Amino acid sequence: MIVESVEYKDEGDIIDQEVFSQILEMDDEGHEFLYKLIMNYFQQVESTFENIRICLGKGDLQTISQLGHSLKGSSASMGLIKMRESSERLRKIGKYKEEVDSSISKQYLLRAAALELECTETEFKRVEDMFINFLENSTIPPNN
């Protein structure tokens, strides 16, 4: 299998090429391993987004932080740069009152988490498009 290498250097990076190359080394020619890995990631992300929305409604910043932490780890292991960064921001927002400034309004942090969730969902759409393109064409598309 020949995989086209694409350099990702700017701020719009979607994927860490080195991490993705390591994943591809574990894959077979039919991409069965990668397909399962991607589909599991997609399911986890969608479930996490739904759980974060529930937490926003309940005002549960602690669980938002935990969900952000979990998503950060999964995104990092897939080499997804912006998803990892956005998930880390969700984690930090959830812990901000506890770790940084206890005087900040919980409502302010919930609004910040909702906005960050929107950004994360937008980035996830880019990730979905990239992985679908890869599976259909066996190449990593350049950044848009």
Task: Give dist(CA 6, CA 129) in Å, integer.
Answer: 16
Measured from the Cβ of residue 10, the count of other Cβ atoms closer than 10 Å reads 7
CA 78 vs. chain centroid, Å, equals 9
Burial letters 22-42, b for 16+ CB under 10 A, else e: ebbeebeeebeebeebbeebe
Amino acid at 124: F
Task: Give dist(CA 15, CA 34) in Å, integer.
Answer: 15
Task: Write down the pTM of the prediction.
Answer: 0.85
- pLDDT for residue 109: 97
- pLDDT for residue 99: 95
Domains of the chain: residue spans and CATH: 17-137 (1.20.120.160)
- pLDDT for residue 143: 42
- pLDDT for residue 142: 43
- pLDDT for residue 13: 81
Task: Give dist(CA 30, CA 60) in Å, integer.
Answer: 42
- pLDDT for residue 112: 97
Residue with the two structure tokens 């990668």:
34
CA 66 vs. chain centroid, Å, equals 14
Q: How far is CA 12 from CA 9, 18, 54, 56, in A?
A: 8, 16, 29, 28
- pLDDT for residue 27: 87
Mean pLDDT by 10 residues, the chain (144 residues): 34 81 86 91 98 98 98 97 97 96 96 98 96 78 42
- pLDDT for residue 43: 98
Name the token pair of 115: 């906005």
